[in-house]
Amino acid sequence: MEIIPKITMKTIDAQPAPRSVEVKKDLAHIYGRADRVNEGSTTYGIFHKYKGMFKAMNLETGEVFQSSNLLLPEIADSILLEGMLAAGATLGKEKTGKDAEQVGEKVKGDPVEFALCIGVIPMDSKDGTGRGYQFTAKPLFESKAADPLAAIEARLKTIPQIAAAPKAEQVKVEDHKGQKKK
């Protein structure tokens, strides 16, 4: 696994060369927990930079990458952005040029967990971008607010002593008048 400054299709070496896509294929699995999102713009348009914990696997090479920053192709970006906004995230401003970075507020509640399969399909090279392909995105499971204890509880169930622990018995407690309660 390689730790990189940000995950993009280019930084994980999964972005096809222009007019090189001849058949539909999957390129990468990208998954993680998004805490916040910032918006910025370049000469290519508006982009969203997600902050959190992310991993990506290049499906052709098998290489795995990890980063705390993520930029997705437009179609995949719309899927994650919708989940973030539904969870109460607000957009910050991403530093571009001389502007100072204004970090977006964290998701209200728990971070958003997601897993996406990013692919490509061939397109007419006169599509306006000149790339000759279009990215595709398929959720590997429904994005949802993360339950921070769910992963720990799942791991605990695999420990034989904990999984086989007897149910706690009801304990008799005295109330404030000295009477026993059950």
* pLDDT, tens digit, 9 for 90 and up, residues 50-61: 999 999 999 999
Q: Is the dihedral of CA 97, 34, 84, 121 positive or negative?
A: positive
The whole-angstrom separation of Cα 91 and Cα 38 is: 5
Task: Give the pLDDT confidence of 85-117 residue by residue, as tens digits.
Answer: 888 777 777 765 545 555 555 656 678 889 999
What pLDDT sits at residue 64?
Answer: 96
Per-residue pLDDT for 69 more than 80? yes
In the chain, count H helices and then E strands.
Answer: 3, 10
Per-residue pLDDT for 140 more than 60? yes
Output the average pLDDT for the chain.
79
pTM of the entire predicted model: 0.70
Sorted by where each begins, the domain ranges of the chain are 2-163
Q: Is the dihedral of CA 67, 68, 73, 76 positive or negative?
A: positive
